[in-house]
Structure 1
Amino acid sequence: MKKRKRKVILAGLIILIFLSGFTYSYFKGTPWKKRQVAKELERYLEERYEQSFVLKSTFFNAEERQYGAVFSPKNDQSMAFNAREDGEKQTYSDDYPEGVWQREFQEDIESAVRKNFPNMTDWFVGTAYGQSAELVKGPAIPTYQEAGAYVWVDVMNTGEFYDSAWQWEKIFQLVKAAQQLTPVAEVSVSFDEKQDPNEEAEVYISCMPAEALQVKSVQHAKKACEVTRFE
């Protein structure tokens, strides 16, 4: 009876360990697979862009069942981007060009942002990830302007939006600056009007790119920008 009981306990422990390992690998991925894919991705990047990269970390997307890694160019480790494996298609993709475009646009638009919104609370730039698959053939990465890459800038402010002439002048100047850089840049400006932390009061202004409507005046800006109030 004791031997049988020990066998049952041992079998239970083995099943428990197996289930624990399966659960972990299902949601977190396996360490050996992460290392393997990271090496494959590094080789893919070096072949595509003809330069060296530094592995920063690895990850596993449980929802997509996708392994990936974070890399930096060896000659510029202040930049980091994702690369990933498509297991079903046995292909690879990366966001290196998007990272380059985002930095370029940020450097180009920063002076206009700070000049027109010196008291802003924060600001961000971004781009559409995945577009480089069609826009970049490699190894050289064209600028966001040469590639026609979609970019955007979002400026956040605290205080009331009065719909005043001077506020629209600031918005117009920023939209104008963005459109002069590229016809596919979108601009958004928000005003947090909350007087109380539990209150929902915000104005969000979204402005179309030049390819939709080129802005030449404050009146043009009002037509190119949609104002949404959240209360």
Structure 2
Amino acid sequence: MSINKMVVSFLLLAIVTGGAIVLSGFFGLPWERVKAQSVITEFVEDKYEIDTKKIDTYFNFKDGKYGVELKTEDDITFKAEWREDLQVIDYYPEAIWKKQMEDDLLKEVQVIFPDHKFIVFDGAYGVGRDEIKGKEIGNYKEIPTDFFLSIRLQEKWKSNIEDKTAEQLLHLVEIIQEKNISNMHVTLYFDQTDDKVSFDSISIPAIQIKPIQTKEDILQYSSGGPNHNG
């Protein structure tokens, strides 16, 4: 083989090798994905005594974590990750709590706000790792942290719209009170107006839900109200 051919072959090999290294940095190594899936699945199924099936695997290139999205037999979808220190971090409790919140309130929210753009129930990810040590998850109402209900309307903010919305939101707050939910922060967003970067909103901290009795109490937490913190 001539020297020129050897140089070209070496350059091609270097390019291919470099490309593979770059790609693995973004997408991870295929065999590590398979290993992570096996480790994670065995861990969560043993920890919670559940059966799961894989929806997808992924690699978080920002922190080098391999992850799996899993689904249980009762349609609970959640993610879990295998860290470099060989610990599995799963978000199964958060998925359970999200389902419980939806079961408690989603239908009521949809009826009260039929013209919504979206309704999202969520919590602080990582709380499950701190609060849940065994297979029993418990109810989100018993967890000493705030959960979040976010509603976005299709309507832009107007004073008369806000007034009507406050009446609707009062109805929702009354339902939350009746269900003895004391750890849910509720935020309602109006659609974005043309001259604003941020959204007008009504944002009520969980700790302030219980004392609310009137529409005027609700309006204290609007974007222009004295108690707004959303």
TM-score by length of 2: 0.86
C-alpha displacement of 1:184 = 1.1
**Rounded Cα–Cα distance in structure 1 between residues aligned with 2:44 and 2:102:** 24
Q: Quick one: which of 64, 79, 82 aligns to 2:79?
A: 82
Q: Distance in 2 between matches of 1:162 and 1:17?
A: 59
Aligned residues: 222
Deviation at 1:147, TM superposition (A): 2.8
Contact 1:41 1:85 in 2 (8 A): yes
Q: Once the 2 structures are TM-superposed, how far is the Cα of residue 61 of structure 1 from its aligned partner?
A: 0.5
Moved over 6 A (4+): none
Gap runs ≥5 in structure 2? 226-230
- Which of the residues 92, 96, 104 maps onto 2:92? 96
What's the offset of the Cα at 1:32?
Answer: 0.2
**1:123 aligned residue (113, 119, 122):** 119
* Match of residue 109, structure 1, among 105, 111, 116: 105
Paired residue for 1:167, among 165, 168, 176?
165
SS of 1:159's partner is strand
1:209 and 1:199 map into 2 onto residues whose CA distance is 27
Identity %: 20
TM-fit CA distance, 1:212: 7.5
Q: Does the CA contact (< 8 Å) of 2:154 and 2:191 recur in 1?
A: yes
CA RMSD after TM alignment: 2.4
TM-aligned CA deviation for residue 117 of structure 1: 1.4
Structure 1 contact 154–187 (Cα < 8 Å) conserved? yes
Q: Equivalent residue for 2:43?
A: 44
> Quick one: structure 1 residues 228 and 130, their matched pair in 2 at CA, closer, same or farther if it must change by over 3 Å?
farther
- Measured in 2, the distance between the counterparts of 1:134 and 1:214 equals 29
C-alpha distance in 2 between matches for 1:36 and 1:228 = 53
- Partner amino acid for 1:108? D
Residue 54 (structure 1) aligned with residue 53 (structure 2): yes
- How much has 1:193 moved relative to structure 2? 5.4
In the TM superposition, residue 176 of structure 1 has moved relative to its aligned partner by 3.1
Q: Could you tell me how far 1:201 is from its partner in structure 2?
A: 7.5
C-alpha distance 163-59 of structure 1, shift in aligned 2 (>3 A):
same
CA distance in 2, matches of 1:22, 1:15: 10
Q: Does 1:185 align with 2:184?
A: yes
Distance 1:7 1:100 in 2: 60
- Tell me which amino acid in the other structure corresponds to 2:203: S
Verify the 8 A CA contact 2:202 2:219 in the aligned structure 1: no
After superposition, what is the alpha-carbon deviation per residue over 1:29-62, rounded to whole angstroms, capped at 9, x for unaligned? 0000000011000111122111222122111000
Instruction: Give the structure-1-normalised TM-score.
Output: 0.86
Separation (CA, whole Å) in 2 of partners of 1:201 and 1:12? 52
Per-residue deviation, 1:181: 4.0
Letter of the 1:119 counterpart:
D
Shift in CA distance, 64/201, structure 1 to aligned 2, threshold 3 Å: closer
**Do the aligned partners of residues 55 and 160 (structure 1) sit closer, same or farther apart at CA in structure 2, a change above 3 Å counting?**
closer
- Structure 1: unaligned runs, 5 residues or longer: none
